[in-house]
Structure 1
Amino acid sequence: MILYSLYEWLDLKGCLFCFCLLLLLIDIIRNKNPANFPPGPQPLPILGNVFTDVNYKTMDQFIEKYGNIFSLRKGGDKIVYVSGFKMVKEVLITQGETFIDRPISPLFDALYKGRGMSFNNGYSWRKQQQFSMSHLKNFGEGRKTLEEHIQRECYSLSRAFKEEQGHPFDPLIKINNAVANVIGNLVYGHRYEYDDVDFQKRLQMSAESVFLTGSVWYQLYDAFPGIMRWLPGPHQTIISNYQELANFLREKVEQHIPDWDSDNPKDYIDAYLTETEKRKNDKEAGFSIDSLVWCMVDLFEGGTETTTNTLRWALLFLIKYSDIQEKVQAEIDQVIGSRLPTMADKANMHYTNAFIHEVLRKANLVPINMSRMARKDTTLSGYFIPKGTVIITNLTSVLYDKHEWETPDTFNPGHFLDSEGHFCRKNAFFAFSAGKRHCPGEYLAHMELFIFLTIFLQTFNFSPSPGKEPSLESKMGFTQAPLPYKLCAHPR
């Protein structure tokens, strides 16, 4: 009896061993790299390199070992990381059409389902992107209306700063609300007061989602969606927060429909509903109420989080480097004086423009770009990249490329000034990515940053909290935000 039980146990053990060996062989065969594929660390069976931490701070270790092109495997997905200005430009611009598509992200595909802009491809993506960029540039009567709207919001924000009476305060909540009001007015035609608790809660949820998208939980979900969708964790917070934001924006759409006038669009929702009616026979363009909601999610989240943190970085650099603050203020006084600044002033404000661009470069808001996918077999720097391979470009390596910037690790507005002190844009300025998939909100962001900062410095002298040395350390997520800090705003 004992011998028979032992025989059964050995037989079961042998079956399990053979089954595991079979899985291992299948994994090796299925995930074998093709000839001349970019090198990378040895992956674990089944799991791949899912536990290998790759972020903009650890990237240099991999570059030093494998070069500017290396690969990892997350589950069954092969991912190629590309660094350095020349190679990133090759991916985003020179071979931009080859790498224009987004790979399917199981987490975001469950939410977007191919709608919106960020996780859409092909004809539908092009039409949604073109429409949204056109609306942002031609809102109302065009640039003048948009300027006036930003000016009014900046006035409200300056008034909120004055209420602090020169005492130390954290500008995050006020700035975030103001920036959200700019994009909110464009998208759904409404602004919220800075003490609106419900709106503040939504903004905090949105920021939390963006932060968690840069975490290992998002990577684990995309590598093993069949398992992770059933497990608790921060990845579930990403999903619930996005759904909550989508529901909030869907309510805005439903409120617009009864009063919608196709001949007199007041905001993005009205314009999109009109476009949907025009394209009702063009089903492939994807214009629908559901697509409208997810385009709004893209615009609201993309247009709020990055600009908020850029302004926070800008103020942090101003209180860190008081001499730079004085130079910007001197130019504002000379060119604008006490009147309201407009975008027409920008061409005559070389140092201010250089300062804003250096903030965007040094702040490095999106260190690792959103992923792309090869549409066909191709080569990069002699390496073979098969169709379907996921490509991730390292924007940090471009903005800090020692071959492109005189002092890449130092905050230096001189990077954007020529020998005569005139502003000059650099080819390696990829703060908004590059190519056809570059950030659709770049135009709006530049306008907001210029108007907000010129009015700020026209109105206030900024200084650190007494006895506190400003820290330039950051909080890493999908975007890079400064750590919480306080400043003093003294009316000039």
Structure 2
Amino acid sequence: MEDNKKMLGKLGFLVTLIPRLILRFLKQFWSCKRYPPGPFRLPLIGGVWRFGVKLTEDTFKKMAKQYGDVYMIWVGNYPAVVLSGYEAVKEGMIDHLEDFAERPVSPFLQSVVKKRGIVFSNGHTWKQQRRFGVVTMRKLGLGKKGMEQQVEDEARRLIECFAKTKGQPFSPLLPVTNCVCNMICSVAFGSQFSVEDKDFLELIEAIRISLEFGGSFFHGLCEIFPGVMKYLPGPHKKAISSMNVILSYARKEVERHKVQQNQHEPQDIIDYYLLQMDKSKDDPTSTYNEDNLVQCIFDLFIAGTDTTATSLQWSLLLMVTYPDIQEKIQKEIDTVLNPTQSISYQERKKMPFTHAVIHEILRTKFVLLFGIPRQCAKDVKMRGFFIPKGAFIAPDLRSVLFDPNHWETPNKFNPYHFLDQEGNFVTRDAFLPFGAGARSCVGEQMARIELFIFLTNLLRAFTFHLPEGVKKLNQEPIVALTMHPRPYKICAVPRFSTT
């Protein structure tokens, strides 16, 4: 009798539980009908199961083919809307400029950046910090001799470093990264460092660890289970420690600049920011303070070092893969410039083929898996779909750069995408490696100058070859938040005996 009662109790529980689960499922299914299509949402993990064991270059391309140009992936309890292809990205980033202008404030990002700086701040703070960044970059001489001179100095150091290899196989990874990071130091701190400097090497290592963590499996766990991960050991602890190293380095430089503040005219970002803080000290709405300054410097290192260094690594890999293109660039350099003439950014107007090749490198070897996510500021209706306030908006910039509706040979490295029939350089609407709209990259012009001056100086000094016995280099990237080339070695053979 007692067993029968227990059995009836269990059956009664199931009879009440099953309808509730079915009702909950139907309610979730019905509410999701208004949303863009996407992978089925499972408890806890949402729709990330659709990614499979690991992300690939084609993961989002396959999803767009299945679900359309606007689709939704639930990341745990967070809805993320992916915009795929030029038309969808343009509609989201330009037509919904204000609606999608915010950055997501996820648990891990909130604990690290605390809504400061330029990249992950919002509202009044973001508007002031971004305005300062844009104005100050102009003051520091973007497109003028001041900034270009610093890039040229670093290019000379890079040439000297490559020359020491005496034509033997070497990896360009470390020297290229050092030079790009030193450029950020020059812009932020007004000084450059020896590549053997202990603090400089520690800074580069901290940047590397921080970037490798972004978008990793453990990063995902920190966003989905922040309360649990806070108490568990793992790579996230090392990443947080590395981020604090960068912030501490920046604070130390701020203190050094405060001591020397009145000794010279503003020469770098910290100088200009301290001056702005002084001008705004009586403004109660001002967000100009040391915490935001330090975070802005952090943003500059994270956003500017790895992206530009990776683009340069891809550039050299492609030069040895396509020696005919390398030779054509060198002929253009030799025609336009004399061997002792410094190369200014303005020379790109006389070098359409070189300019086109750099654009095609940025297109075919886009360094990010997708654009930095944004967040929906209010409920939005787009293409008949309901996008709720707070949803993440992920512009798939890679899909724009490979959109078959806008590129004649999207999957082929083809500099003629940017040349007309007469060989003149032409711009393309779907060329958006730096993003679009209000959140486009603040450092875009600096990156363009670096890529042009570094690459042309290197190709004027050297011809790059594959090592003996190596037939080709692997162009498949290491898929992470930043798409690095796989480790490789090349030979830098001097073109002139005076190199």
TM-score (norm 2): 0.92
- Deviation at residue 370 of structure 1 after TM alignment: 1.2
The unaligned stretches of length 5 or more in structure 2 are: none
Match of 2:283 in 1: 282
Q: Which runs of 4+ in 1 moved over 4 A?
A: 6-32
Q: Within 1, Cα distance between the matches of 2:395 and 2:205? A: 28
Alpha-carbon spacing, 1:320–1:19, altered in 2? closer, same or farther (3 Å)? same
- Deviation at residue 17 of structure 1 after TM alignment: 11
Alpha-carbon spacing, 1:12–1:370, altered in 2? closer, same or farther (3 Å)? farther
Greater Cα offset, 328-337 or 31-40: 31-40
Q: Secondary structure at the match of 2:381?
A: strand
- Deviation at residue 18 of structure 1 after TM alignment: 8.2
- Deviation at residue 239 of structure 1 after TM alignment: 1.9
Q: Within 2, Cα distance between the matches of 1:211 and 1:431? A: 20
Q: Within 2, Cα distance between the matches of 1:294 and 1:25? A: 47
Q: Within 1, Cα distance between the matches of 2:218 and 2:416? A: 40
| Structure 2 counterparts to residues 77-476 of structure 1, below 5 A | 77-139=78-140, 143-261=144-262, 264-338=265-339, 339-468=341-470, 469-476=472-479
Q: Within 2, Cα distance between the matches of 1:248 and 1:431? A: 29
Match of 1:490 in 2: 493
Q: Secondary structure at the match of 2:451?
A: helix
Match of 1:38 in 2: 36
Alpha-carbon spacing, 1:3–1:273, altered in 2? closer, same or farther (3 Å)? same
C-alpha contact (below 8 Å) 1:48/1:73 kept by paired residues = yes
Alpha-carbon spacing, 1:141–1:438, altered in 2? closer, same or farther (3 Å)? closer
C-alpha contact (below 8 Å) 2:369/2:479 kept by paired residues = no
Letter in 2 for 1:104: V
Letter in 2 for 1:81: V
Letter in 2 for 1:325: Q
Q: Secondary structure at the match of 2:82?
A: strand
C-alpha contact (below 8 Å) 2:142/2:446 kept by paired residues = no
C-alpha contact (below 8 Å) 2:142/2:148 kept by paired residues = no
Write the deviation string for residues 195-253 of structure 1: whole angstroms up to 9, x where unpaired: 33442232133123212212232222222222222222333333222112111111111
Alpha-carbon spacing, 1:205–1:88, altered in 2? closer, same or farther (3 Å)? same
Q: Within 2, Cα distance between the matches of 1:101 and 1:68? A: 21
Q: Secondary structure at the match of 1:480?
A: coil
- Deviation at residue 35 of structure 1 after TM alignment: 4.5
C-alpha contact (below 8 Å) 1:210/1:477 kept by paired residues = no
Write the deviation string for residues 153-206 of structure 1: whole angstroms up to 9, x where unpaired: 111111111111111100111110101111101101221222334422321331
Write the deviation string for residues 98-157 of structure 1: whole angstroms up to 9, x where unpaired: 101112121111111111011101121111111112222221697211111111111111
Letter in 1 for 2:494: P
Q: Secondary structure at the match of 1:407?
A: coil
Q: Within 2, Cα distance between the matches of 1:182 and 1:260? A: 21
C-alpha contact (below 8 Å) 2:143/2:449 kept by paired residues = no
Q: Within 2, Cα distance between the matches of 1:472 and 1:357? A: 18
Match of 1:47 in 2: 45
Greater Cα offset, 222-231 or 434-443: 222-231
| Structure 2 counterparts to residues 58-73 of structure 1, below 5 A | 58-73=59-74
Q: Secondary structure at the match of 1:125?
A: helix
Alpha-carbon spacing, 1:58–1:174, altered in 2? closer, same or farther (3 Å)? same
Greater Cα offset, 480-489 or 202-211: 202-211
Letter in 1 for 2:140: F
Greater Cα offset, 398-407 or 367-376: 367-376
C-alpha contact (below 8 Å) 1:465/1:488 kept by paired residues = yes
Alpha-carbon spacing, 1:142–1:43, altered in 2? closer, same or farther (3 Å)? closer
Q: Within 2, Cα distance between the matches of 1:27 and 1:74? A: 18
Q: Within 2, Cα distance between the matches of 1:16 and 1:207? A: 52
C-alpha contact (below 8 Å) 2:367/2:482 kept by paired residues = yes
C-alpha contact (below 8 Å) 1:461/1:490 kept by paired residues = yes
Alpha-carbon spacing, 1:457–1:231, altered in 2? closer, same or farther (3 Å)? same
Q: What RMSD, in angstroms, separates the aligned Cα atoms of the two structures?
A: 2.6
Alpha-carbon spacing, 1:19–1:191, altered in 2? closer, same or farther (3 Å)? farther
Alpha-carbon spacing, 1:429–1:19, altered in 2? closer, same or farther (3 Å)? same
Q: Within 2, Cα distance between the matches of 1:141 and 1:206? A: 24
Q: Within 1, Cα distance between the matches of 2:113 and 2:282? A: 22
Letter in 2 for 1:306: T
Alpha-carbon spacing, 1:451–1:29, altered in 2? closer, same or farther (3 Å)? same
Greater Cα offset, 51-60 or 318-327: 51-60
Greater Cα offset, 8-17 or 438-447: 8-17
Q: Within 1, Cα distance between the matches of 2:297 and 2:284? A: 20
Alpha-carbon spacing, 1:40–1:276, altered in 2? closer, same or farther (3 Å)? same
Letter in 1 for 2:487: P
The unaligned stretches of length 5 or more in structure 1 are: none
Letter in 2 for 1:466: E
C-alpha contact (below 8 Å) 1:47/1:74 kept by paired residues = yes
Letter in 1 for 2:384: G
C-alpha contact (below 8 Å) 2:374/2:392 kept by paired residues = yes
TM-score (norm 1): 0.93
Q: Within 2, Cα distance between the matches of 1:24 and 1:65? A: 27
C-alpha contact (below 8 Å) 2:319/2:325 kept by paired residues = yes
* Percent identity between the two aligned chains: 37
Write the deviation string for residues 303-332 of structure 1: whole angstroms up to 9, x where unpaired: 111000000000110011000000100110
- Deviation at residue 448 of structure 1 after TM alignment: 0.6
